Amino acid sequence: MIQQVLIVDDEPPARERLRRLVGELGNIEVLAEAGTGEQAVRLAGELHPDVVLLDVRMPGMSGLEAARHMALLPEPPAVVFTTAYDSYAIEAFDAQAVGYLLKPIRAEKLAAALRRAARLAGKQLAGLAASDPQHAARTHVAARLGDQVRLIPVPEIYYFGADQKYTTVRHQGGSDLIEDSLRTLEEEFAAQFVRVHRNALASINRLAAIERDAQGQYHVILRDINERLAVSRRLAGELRDRFRL
């Protein structure tokens, strides 16, 4: 069977070389190349590659983050990371037994990695995410949309709301359901979002004012959208002091 590969690297010469190496192996087809993490997640959803050769360090979305988003696909591809030198990442790859290749990549190592390439398990992904101090917070959150993954840039998000089992993301493009819990989101995006209620995290940049209605219930008003979020009494005072609302 022919293995189908997606090549992801932000540097054109690096992609070019990988394409050539893969081409020389035989029995392997390069489906496409991507220059960014976002593009890679989209192409992985559309083309269903068997393996993604994924550069760890890219501007914007890192390879580690792209792998996390790809894992939400109904049939996630196997992932082999490529890196020139990232001591943190390499330590994590070894710890999680994840396949990786060091640049400049040797043809025989590439062949071996493609033979052994495996899908990443949730535990491995969590281990990788925790290993990277520079990219602690993702640049996007991902929502399943049919057999695709929809990426929502974090700066475009107004708030996260919890609704029994699911978490809702309200963003510039509308509203989506995601699988992350409010508690993990609060931890991950502590710099950008703040807890306003047991069931909501609001974008700090968009906090406009806090109001109290006739029933004594507090609400926070968010910039740019005509929606108000309930604020718990306990947090109202804290928010006022911290953001001078």
Partner 1 sequence: MAGRATSNARSLNLPDFCAARAVLAVVLIVTLTAIVLAVARQSSGLSFWLDLARSSLFLLWAGMGSAAALCLLRARLARLSLPAASALALGSVLVVIASVSLGVLWLGSSALLGPRASNLLLPVAPQSFFAASLGIGAIVGALALRYFYVTGEWRRNVELQARARVRALQARIRPHFLFNSMNTIAALTRTDPARAEEAVEDLADLFRANLNEKRSSITLKEELEVARIYQRIEQLRLGERLHVVWDVADLPMRALVPGLLMQPLLENAIYHGIEPRPGGGVVTVSGSLDGDIIDLTVRNPLPEAGEAAHAGNRVALDNIRERMDLIYPGRSSVEANRIGDEYLVRLRFPRLEDTERSLSL
- Nearer to partner 1 among residue 24 and residue 75 (C-beta): 24
d(CA 237, CA 244): 10
Cβ(229)–Cβ(202) below 8 Å: yes
Distances (CA, A) of 116 to 6, 53, 77: 16, 13, 13
The site for partner 1 (CB under 8 A) is made up of 10-14, 16-17, 20, 36, 57, 59-60, 62, 84-86, 102-105, 133-135, 139, 153-155, 192
Beta carbon nearer to partner 1, 35 or 238: 35
State how far the Cα of 41 lies from the Cα of 192, in Å rounded to an integer: 24
Give the nearest distance from C-beta 149 to partner 1 in angstroms.
Answer: 19
Amino acid at 127: G
Residue 222 CA: distances (Å) to CA of 85, 102, 175, 199: 42, 46, 16, 16
CB of 40 to partner 1, least distance (A): 13
Nearer to partner 1, 104 or 146 (CB): 104
Select from 96, 126, 102, 1 the least CA-distant residue to 53.
Answer: 102
Residue 75 CB, nearest approach to partner 1 (Å): 28
In the complex, least distance from residue 205 CB atom to partner 1, rounded to whole angstroms: 9
Q: Please identify, using beta-carbon distances, which residue of 50 and 65 lies nearer to partner 1.
A: 65
Q: Which is nearer to partner 1, 31 or 102 (CB)?
A: 102
DSSP element (H, E) containing 163 = strand 157-163
CA distance linking residue 14 with residue 194, whole number of Å: 40
User: Which of 152/182 has CB closer to partner 1?
Assistant: 152
Least distance to partner 1 from the beta carbon of 146, Å?
A: 27
Q: How far is the CB of 39 from partner 1 (least distance, A)?
A: 10
